[in-house]
Amino acid sequence: MKCFTVDGTGLENLQQCDRPTPGPPAPGEVSVDVASISLNYRDIMVADGRYSGVMETPIIAGSDMCGTITTVGRDVIGFEAGDRVLNAPFRNWPAGQLRPEWAGTFVGGAGVDGVLAEQVNYPAASLVRVPDYLSENEASTFTIAGLTAWSALVTHGRIQPGSWVLLHGTGGVSLFGAQIASMYGARTVITSSSPAKVDIIKEKVNIDAAVDYKDPKWPQKVREITGGRGVDVVVDVAGGTTLAGSIAACAPYGRVGLIGVLDGVESTISTIDILMRQITIRGILMESAQELRQFVRAAESATVRPWIDRVFPFDQTTAAYAHLKAQRHIGKVVISLTGN
């Protein structure tokens, strides 16, 4: 079968190659013909060696896929051949808190083969059936971008009707975050240095206000937008120096979900802000298969559709990675194996 591999030595070594087709699924697993793969910034970090370092043996790249089950292994309940499915990001994290023995099953990094291939075998317990209204390209974006936003806002962020939510940038996580906030009756502020991008996303996503993150006073402006109180929940995809601004923009008892490092891995933050306003900062390293099912059910009830910036054919996977790395996209970058 055809697949793309990375070894942590740089994006220039993202390689298309042939590997043996997976054999019959093991007990509890199913075989899936992959239709679509959604890219994440994590995939660039893995290729560059910034996520799990240089690997002695290349791994199949990619974390998110949607496809159709072709073969069902022994002891599988609830799935049959022909079902369309999307994958949870860990091969084994069924529910609850992440256990140490599950942590090493995050696909597409740290030595664990990913899903950027024509076929994969996957544990049935870590798959979710795709709602009928979603295409394969759309469904593939739910695994990391959608689930991360859900985790930061709902699982741990506990948003309520009327809550103020701060989202950074116009990538897939932030746009899912805006849609989830709207589902819950929350209000959103987005940071972006591109008025043109903000105008585009306002056409499809409910955004209450936007601020320019290049303005050093952007946290103050966020507080002004919220009547001086600050935001209740932050989905921080940037880290670095942005994290300090996220904390400064928080209301009392605000919750910051730290999920990315686009702005770097080091930050100087105000402990006084955290103490006096009793702010909670939580690292978000994905969520369980159970949480993904809950998110998909909630999204189906509201007919949530992800924003896809561009779809690349499988043989243009390298161009898809380059497009994502250039950060000129709005929403998700998807690779299609079916030409749709």
CA dist 226 and 162 (Å) reads 11
Query: What pLDDT is stored for residue 244 in this prediction?
Result: 95
* DSSP 8-class letter at 69: E
What is 2-144+287-336's CATH number, 3.90.180.10, 3.30.70.1400, 3.40.50.2300, 3.40.1280.10?
A: 3.90.180.10
Q: What is the pLDDT of residues 104-128, one digit of tens each?
A: 999 999 899 999 999 999 999 999 9
pLDDT mean over 10-27: 96
Dump pLDDT digits (tens) for 189-210.
Answer: 999 999 988 998 888 888 999 9
Domain boundaries, the chain: 2-144+287-336, 157-283
- Rg value, the chain, Cα: 20
The CATH homologous superfamily for domain 157-283 is NAD(P)-binding Rossmann-like Domain (3.40.50.720)
Q: Which residue has the higher pLDDT, 340 or 117?
A: 117
What integer pLDDT is reported at residue 279 of this predicted model?
A: 97
| pLDDT higher than 90, residue 132 | yes
- Contact in structure between 79 and 124 (CB atoms under 8 Å): yes
Q: What tokens appear for 121 in the block?
A: 């075998």
- Indicate the pTM of the whole model: 0.94
Q: Summarize pLDDT for 138-153 with one digit per residue, the tens.
A: 999 999 999 999 999 9
Token pair recorded at residue 103? 């942590």
The confidence band for 276, taking pLDDT boundaries of 50, 70 and 90, is very high
CA distance 123 to 16: 25
